[in-house]
Amino acid sequence: MPQTNRFKSLPLSSMNTAPQLPKVQRLALPHDPALSLLTDLHHSACVVASHRDGLEQTLHLMLRANVRMVFVSGPDGELVGMVTAEDLQGERPVLRTSSHLIPHNELTLSDIMIPVRHWDTVELAQVRTARLGDVAETMHQHGLRYLLVVQNKEGRIMLRGLFSATRLEMAMNTTIEADLHSRSFAEFGQVLAH
């Protein structure tokens, strides 16, 4: 006996004019659950660039993908770092070219990325019970524009998601500025010298 199809086709319509893309405007309060603004990498694609990519090439990739941060992969495809648009356009390339005598157009992501060993991360288990205000305060105290969330899965550390200060600022209508007392010039020098 043939099985009857219990689903029905939805009506389609033709487009006479180009549709507009929606503008996501998520409003949030500091007491809202932190997970409400977590970019969960199980459900969102992340942008990855090669450690050999040039700075202009990466900025172009960021522009096309509409992101301000990309992860950096090494020769074997594993994550080796991350880089932000601010890193690419800020003083980091200038310092790198002057200290290592490399022309700016020859710099690659491996020259200016923040290596994995310098990442500040938080465990997903901590985020599950946290509020957005807790995340904002963590980012403020540690001078972070991105807070990476990791999860221990079967003995392996997995990158699970991230919080963006810009997204939090827009949603909560606030500013997350770095607590300059918590960062030292030695820390910045260490990142640059990697």
What is the model's pLDDT at position 179?
66
Most confident of 20-24, 100-104, 181-185: 100-104
* Cα distance from N-terminal residue to C-terminal residue, the chain: 69
**pLDDT surpasses 90 at 96:** no
Q: Residue 190: pLDDT above 60?
A: no
> Would you list the DSSP string of 4-73?
PP---PPP----SSPPPPPPP-----TTSBGGGG-EETTTS---EEETT-BHHHHHHHHHHHT-SEEEEE
Cβ distance 177 to 140 under 8 Å?
yes
Does residue 127 have a pLDDT over 80? Answer: yes
What domains are there in the chain, each with its CATH number? Answer: 34-193 (3.10.580.10)
Residue 34: Cβ-neighbour burial (10 angstroms; 0-12, 13-18, 19+): buried
Identify which has the larger pLDDT, 100 or 117: 117
Phi and psi of 100, rounded to 5°? -115, 5
Please check the confidence at residue 185 and state whether its pLDDT lies above 80: no
Averaged pLDDT score across all residues of the chain:
87
Cα 136 from Cα 163, distance rounded (Å): 9
Position 45 confidence tier, pLDDT thresholds 50, 70, 90? confident
Listed in sequence order, the residues at least 6 apart from 129 whose beta carbon sits closer than 8 Å to its beta carbon are none
Distance (Å, rounded) from C-alpha 182 to C-alpha 131? 22
